Amino acid sequence: MEFLGTLVIILIITSLFGHLASRVGIPAVIGQLFVGIILGPALLNWVHANDFIHIFSEIGVIILMFIAGLESDLTLLKKYLRPSIIVALLGVLIPMVLIYPVGIVFGLTQFESLFLSVIFAATSVSISVAVMKELNLLDSKSGSTVLGAAVVDDVLAVVLLSIMVSLIGTKAGTDTQIPLALTFLEQLIYFAAIYFVMRFIAPLLAKLGTKLLNPVGPTIMAMILCFGMAYIADLIGLSAVIGAFFAGIAIAQTHVAHEVDQSIEPIGYAIFIPVFFVSIGLNMSLAGIEHDLLLIIVLTIVATLTKLLGAGSGAKWAGFSSNEAYLVGAGMVSRGEMALIIAQIGYQSKLISDDYYSAIITAIILTTLLAPLLLKHAARHINY
């Protein structure tokens, strides 16, 4: 039962650091992210990224994105679909164009530099979701655009990654090759099926949940849909959080939405979501950092500015005010688990060498730490 001791340590210290962060006026998420750095290999080396941490963090991010979908306004998401697409496209294009030469300058091969640009083209808004929820901006014009853009960005990142691994004739982590066209077809079918889930399956599950002789029947049905959609999304090469997000939107259209939200939020934020935040920091190691310090600094600055300016200019182009565009750009800065996953897949597929892997992971974590601070700063200039 050693994992229980680890969980107790994580919950105590994330609660303390989250509280202290809020007291000094910064998002509680920042305090929780730092816990992973403090407890992990970077400093105290008390907690390691083992199977327990991995499983709990995966469940945590899935629940976090399910809650985001549950609390999103579908009308707003539809309304800001066009800005979301523009934000995602520019938010991917500009980092790819400007991070590639960074890799070349620091001695990476052309292929490694291209893959480096793919890693930092990705966005993971799970951290931004937590911050926007804390700031009551999740269900706003900018918040809806960030959520919509994140889905498009995720799909683009998967497409780019699929192309990269197909160029060297391997499927990440496996020996079998899956045709790129088949992967795209599966993903198109998945998105088409979301309509039927919202229209028929979610209402049916909600109805079944209320008829179960169980006080949390609707929540059980909602979790079945959430984990089921997340699992299928992962099977076809999409991020599991996409499935969880759309499951949340589907349940939000039913009569049990409020009941499910009241039930699942305490479970998520009390246990699983703190472990997810800690897991980000656990990936960071300071071993040999002095040799890669310049690369880490340059990558972090360029990665932050390119996503901020790329996504922000997309929002500006779509008619947002400068302050709203800044908020959207800040919301897209975090690379989080999506970039970490792409980096890990690329590392396993020999797309990136051992020499640069630690520096890249550190830069990903630093951008993830900067994102909530940028969001907090941007939120000061927004009046919704």
Phi-psi region of 336 (alpha: psi -120 to 50; beta: other; left: phi over 0): left
Q: What is the pLDDT of residue 322?
A: 94
pLDDT digit string, tens, across residues 224-281: 999 999 999 988 878 888 899 999 999 999 999 999 999 999 999 999 999 999 998 8
CA 99 to CA 95: how far, in whole Å? Answer: 6
Q: What is the pLDDT of residue 168?
A: 60
Question: CA 255 → CA 192, 199, 226, 252, distances in Å?
Answer: 23, 13, 17, 8
What average pLDDT does the chain have? 89
pLDDT band at 351 (very low <50, low <70, confident <90, very high): confident
The residue-averaged pLDDT of 345-366 equals 85
pLDDT digit string, tens, across residues 38-66: 999 888 999 988 999 999 999 999 999 99
The residue-averaged pLDDT of 27-36 equals 88
Whether residue 72 is predicted with pLDDT greater than 50 in this model: the reply is yes
Between residues 260 and 335, the one the model is more confident about: 260
Q: What is the pLDDT of residue 166?
A: 66
Q: What is the pLDDT of residue 382?
A: 81
Whether residue 175 is predicted with pLDDT greater than 80 in this model: the reply is no
Between residues 330 and 184, the one the model is more confident about: 330
User: Residues near 352 by Cβ (< 8 Å), separated by ≥ 6?
Assistant: 112, 115, 116, 343, 346, 360
pTM, to two decimals: 0.83
pLDDT digit string, tens, across residues 99-114: 999 999 999 999 899 9
pLDDT band at 27 (very low <50, low <70, confident <90, very high): confident
Distance of CA 152 to the CA centre of its chain: 12
Reduced 3-state DSSP string for the chain: CHHHHHHHHHHHHHHHHHHHHHHCCCCHHHHHHHHHHHHCCCCCCCCCCCHHHHHHHHHHHHHHHHHHHHCCCHHHHHHCHHHHHHHHHHHHHHHHHHHHHHHHHCCCCHHHHHHHHHHHHCCCCHHHHHHHHHCCCCCCHHHHHHHHHHHHHHHHHHHHHHHHHHHCCCECCECCCCCHHHHHHHHHHHHHHHHHHHHHHHHHHHHHHHHCCCCCHHHHHHHHHHHHHHHHHHHCCCCHHHHHHHHHHHHHCCCCHHHHHHHHHHHHHHHHHHHHHHHHHHCCCCCCHHHCHHHHHHHHHHHHHHHHHHHHHHHHHCCCCHHHHHHHHHHCCCCHHHHHHHHHHHHHCCCCCHHHHHHHHHHHHHHHHHHHHHHHHHHCCCCC
Kindly list the structural domains of the chain, giving each domain's residue range(s) and its CATH number in brackets, ordered by start.
1-380 (1.20.1530.20)
Between residues 205 and 167, the one the model is more confident about: 205
Whether residue 348 is predicted with pLDDT greater than 80 in this model: the reply is no
